Amino acid sequence: MRLNIAVIPGDGIGPEIVREAKKVLDVTVEQFGHELIYTEVLMGGASIDACGVPLTDEAIETAKAKDAVLMGSIGGDAATSPWYQLPPHLRPEAGLLKLRKSLGLFANLRPAVLYGELKGACPLKEEIIGDGFDMMIMRELTGGLYFGERRTEEVDGLLTAVDTLTYNENEIRRIAKRAFDIAGKRRKKVCSVDKANVLDSSRLWRKIVEEVAKDYPDIMLEHMLVDNCAMQLVKNPGQFDVILTENMFGDILSDEASMVTGSIGMLSSASLNDTKFGLYEPSHGSAPDIAGKDLANPIATILSAAMMLRFTFDLDEEAAAIERAVQQVLTEGWRTADIMSEGCTQVGTRKMGDLIAEFIIKGVGL
């Protein structure tokens, strides 16, 4: 199979972690007899520096012409970077929002898995961790506050900011269907998270999710208010299978879930549209403070590449080879600084990528 992939290295640690993900992909497709074609695309601060905008129309068209997009992280230090002296629509993150909207990437999948080997890095008590947890957070990605009308103006002599949270029933229905479909391949549980005791948008969300649930009689549905869900994630994370929620709630909850896995450096992400096309990226930021120091954990990006093989190309065996290699590296005690624990061996970004690539070769050869 020929895999045409647009690659966005991004800013900060982005180029380093993307380099390692490409290394692992190259080894995997070589072992399984596929062909990879990469096309680099600028976005974020790198695009601002080169083109004056965080994402050009030409970059969007290039991405649309490929099968998938593999991305690092974008942005910089908001306190010191000149990118954040620009108007909001010209800052790095505006490029990501524009790309999501332009590609119709409405469904964001963020798995949060606690590996047994990383229990020591998990901030929760052992009695809470239990046998670990494996959840998938399904976040609606192109609606809600992040895309609603916004303005800042003077009202009665006071500066007043307004952000509008808007969802229609079709936007809710399509993300709900994706959540139930994925739950059907997992443990058949969907927890829909909203704020229906306060927000009209959440009351509509709950109504439409319940309508969709009628088409999935074998899937158990429960509703949970977002504040309770935030508490339950640290009280009993093992109760969750698929968490379905809107854009801003999903943004917050997925970062919380990532930290109870031991490190946000372990959390991969996929953003899908109505076809097989997807954008695959780590859930963490660009960490400019460690950029270029060979300290970043590339595993989230590598696991995102595995998700790309599975969800866009239907290459389940190849994706599993990468996931097994990551598991083996952890089992043998190799750690980057963010997940380091006593008795393990600390390695840098490049070495972690080398080790995972080596285990893929060994695993396929057995």
Asked about 354 being catalytic, the answer comes back as no
Query: Which of these is catalytic: 115, 146, 167, 280?
Result: 146
> To 5 degrees, how large is the angle CA 112–CA 264–CA 180?
25
- The contacts of residue 132 (CB under 8 Å, 6+ apart) are 113, 114, 115, 116, 119, 238
Asked about 167 being catalytic, the answer comes back as no
Comparing C-alpha atoms, which of 104, 167, 161, 141 is closest to residue 248? Answer: 141
Query: Which of these is catalytic: 22, 23, 98, 195?
Result: 195
* Cβ proximity of 339 and 297 under 8 Å: yes
* Cβ proximity of 356 and 331 under 8 Å: no
Query: Which of these is catalytic: 77, 227, 274, 314?
Result: 227
Residues 48-67 as b/e (b if ≥16 CB within 10 A, e otherwise) read beeeebbbbeebbebbeebb
Asked about 241 being catalytic, the answer comes back as no
By residue count, the chain amounts to: 366
What DSSP character marks residue 36? E
Asked about 255 being catalytic, the answer comes back as yes
Residue type, 246: E
Query: Which of these is catalytic: 134, 181, 255, 354?
Result: 255
Query: Which of these is catalytic: 194, 241, 251, 338?
Result: 251
- The contacts of residue 306 (CB under 8 Å, 6+ apart) are 268, 318, 319, 320, 322, 323
What count of other Cβ atoms lies within 10 Å of the Cβ of residue 231? 12
CA distance 22 to 26: 6
**Side-by-side strand order, sheet with 242-245:** 35-40, 2-10, 68-73, 278-280, 270-272, 107-113, 134-140, 242-245, 189-194, 220-225
Query: Parallel, antiparallel, or unpaired for β 270-272 and 107-113?
Result: antiparallel
Asked about 227 being catalytic, the answer comes back as yes
List residues with catalytic annotation: 146, 195, 227, 251, 255
